[in-house]
Structure 1
Amino acid sequence: MKLSFFDTLDAVLRTGSLAGAAREMHVTPSAVSMQMKQMEAHFGQPLFDRAGLTVRPTPLARQIADVMREPMKRVEALRRRTTTQVEGSMRLGVIETMQATLLPAAVAYLRSHHPALQVRPVRGRTVELLDAVKAGRLDAAIVVQPSTGGSQRLAWHPVLRKELVLLAPPQATQERPAVLFKNYEWIRFDPDTSAGRMAARWVRKHAPGARPTMELQSVQAVVAMVSAGLGVSIVQQPDALMTLAHPVRVLRLGRGAPAVQVSLVSRPADAASRKLEVLRDALASVPAELLGAAGH
């Protein structure tokens, strides 16, 4: 039995359900259930009354949690001491839009706080990186989380939200999306991505007559095309470096604008590792204004 099972038990008691504990511990509900059954086997007594549809903790479950809560906090404090250096290497997948902003700042943080930890970035699209994480070829990946929430076989940690915006050529004077899509060609962002599908749904609703004349898989390529006056597009908010190199008009889509959730994804068994913990600290240290984030 692992020490982390005590944390899971405490999470079940605090949240009141296996599903709530699963969300807090970044594992699936079935994994929480399995851990609790292993604890019951270890103590030789039931920890929950499973009568009906609810799961009620027994007095023993509360006693165990009360006894172990303070020691577990002390162990966690030892593990998180700033003087403790994390070593080794980490294979980290990163989608294209995060490579020029989030990745450099996070790696700089890790170099400063954990110089013996080597981050090995791997570029890819979300679907490719998710497959690599599941297969164990990557330790973690920074991806766009599917709007459905993503696979329960993986642990998801939200990093930032990025709104979709309308990009127009710098010389465009119109403000209304319907007019812009009438006067310019639609440069469609990759329809195989969550952001591309969200953008297409928005265009169909607000500019139903628009038809894409080209499709591009790179946000940077879309920004460059729009900057050259070749069309308009809807993509996630580009970072300042992109628009500095290729000036465009960035128009907010208003209330209810679609947004993508950028998350750190890993295998549930690795989510509580010290390496991923310091990586999450590094990602949280990146200023929101650097990322053009809707929330960070």
Structure 2
Amino acid sequence: MELIYLQTFKEVADRQSFTKAAEELGYAQSSVTTQIQKLEKEYGVKLFERYGKGLRLTKSGEELLKYAVQMLDLFQQSKEKLTKQGGGTLSIGTIDSLAAYFLPPVVHRLRHQYEDLSIRLQPDREDRIVSKVREGEYDMGLMLEHNPSDSSLKWIRIREEPLLLVAHPNHPLHVHPVIKLEHLADVEWIMTEDSCNYRIMLEKVLRARGVPLRIGLELGNPEAIK
């Protein structure tokens, strides 16, 4: 069970509202609802009930709140104690290609700047990265995203990344001095998995221009594709 769920539970109990708790925590209301549902499933009880226009704790909820306050206080005390001693862990969720090609020099600099910091790099799918950042499992996520998919999170654009077409030197496309979208019709692709953001962007562009996409091989790892 995540301590963050207990923090969310305490905020809902204090404010007697999922909406106000979500605003205070900076979450989407759906995320707050999901966390409370997970707690209820874990304990096998209902924690809140409707009371007029608001919410109130059930008997089980009142009992859990006592323990939640104690556990969160102990957690805060442990954080303060360990922070004074230095160290800590930075958890970063990212996709395989960025983990392999972009992040190593960044992690190297961080380790030199903060010698006691433990860095945990977690390769994951884009949709899971967003979800785990929202729920606090990752401290931050690094991914390729054209339009932010979750307005409840803070998004920072680091840079624009070009997409390149890579082919064998003897590929028929090499006869064209400039490759246009229509030249890609019925070309066989070696492609990333269907949840990959830059594949989704490419497919959207090809669809808009009526260019058919034929996938001969689908691989989830950039090194395997190379």
**TM category, shorter:** 0.5 to 0.7
1:7-156 alignment to 2 at 5 Å? 87-145=87-145, 147-156=146-155
Match in the other structure for 2:19: none
Q: 1:156 to 1:94 in 2, by over 3 A?
A: same
- Structure 1 length as normaliser, TM-score? 0.41
Higher helix share: 2
- The residue type equivalent to 1:92 in the other structure is I
- Structure 2 length as normaliser, TM-score? 0.53
What is the DSSP-based 3-state SS (H/G/I as helix, E as strand, rest coil) of the residue aligned with 1:116? coil
Instruction: Tell me how far apart the structure 2 counterparts of residues 165 and 88 of structure 1 sit (CA, whole Å).
Output: 38
Instruction: Tell me how far apart the structure 1 counterparts of residues 214 and 90 of structure 2 sit (CA, whole Å).
Output: 43
Match in the other structure for 2:190: 187
Instruction: Tell me how far apart the structure 2 counterparts of residues 127 and 98 of structure 1 sit (CA, whole Å).
Output: 15
- The residue type equivalent to 1:192 in the other structure is S
Q: 1:202 to 1:187 in 2, by over 3 A?
A: farther
Q: 1:151 to 1:205 in 2, by over 3 A?
A: closer
Higher strand share: 1
Matched, 1:164 2:163: yes
- The residue type equivalent to 2:105 in the other structure is A
Q: 1:182 to 1:137 in 2, by over 3 A?
A: closer
Compute the displacement of 1:177 (Å): 4.3
- The residue type equivalent to 2:170 in the other structure is Q
Match in the other structure for 1:25: none
Q: Name structure 1 gaps, 5 residues minimum.
A: 1-29, 32-84, 225-296
Compute the displacement of 1:209 (Å): 4.0
Q: 1:185 to 1:148 in 2, by over 3 A?
A: same
Match of 2:202 among 199, 202, 212: 199
- The residue type equivalent to 2:203 in the other structure is A
Residues 86 and 114, structure 1, Cα contact 8 Å, conserved in 2: no
What is the DSSP-based 3-state SS (H/G/I as helix, E as strand, rest coil) of the residue aligned with 2:162? strand
What is the DSSP-based 3-state SS (H/G/I as helix, E as strand, rest coil) of the residue aligned with 2:100? coil
String of CA shifts for 1:111-135, please: whole Å, max 9, x gaps: 2211111111111111111111122
Compute the displacement of 1:105 (Å): 0.6
Instruction: Tell me how far apart the structure 2 counterparts of residues 188 and 165 of structure 1 sit (CA, whole Å).
Output: 13
Q: Name structure 2 gaps, 5 residues minimum.
A: 1-22, 25-84
1:222-237 alignment to 2 at 5 Å? 222=225, 224=226
- The residue type equivalent to 1:115 in the other structure is E
Residues 88 and 116, structure 1, Cα contact 8 Å, conserved in 2: yes
Compute the displacement of 1:178 (Å): 5.5
Q: Percent identity?
A: 22
Q: 1:104 to 1:180 in 2, by over 3 A?
A: same
String of CA shifts for 1:226-271, please: whole Å, max 9, x gaps: xxxxxxxxxxxxxxxxxxxxxxxxxxxxxxxxxxxxxxxxxxxxxx
Residues 164 and 199, structure 1, Cα contact 8 Å, conserved in 2: no
Instruction: Tell me how far apart the structure 2 counterparts of residues 93 and 210 of structure 1 sit (CA, whole Å).
Output: 30
String of CA shifts for 1:134-154, please: whole Å, max 9, x gaps: 222111121223x33231221
- The residue type equivalent to 1:164 in the other structure is L
Compute the displacement of 1:86 (Å): 6.7
Instruction: Tell me how far apart the structure 1 counterparts of residues 197 and 188 of structure 2 sit (CA, whole Å).
Output: 22
- The residue type equivalent to 2:191 in the other structure is R
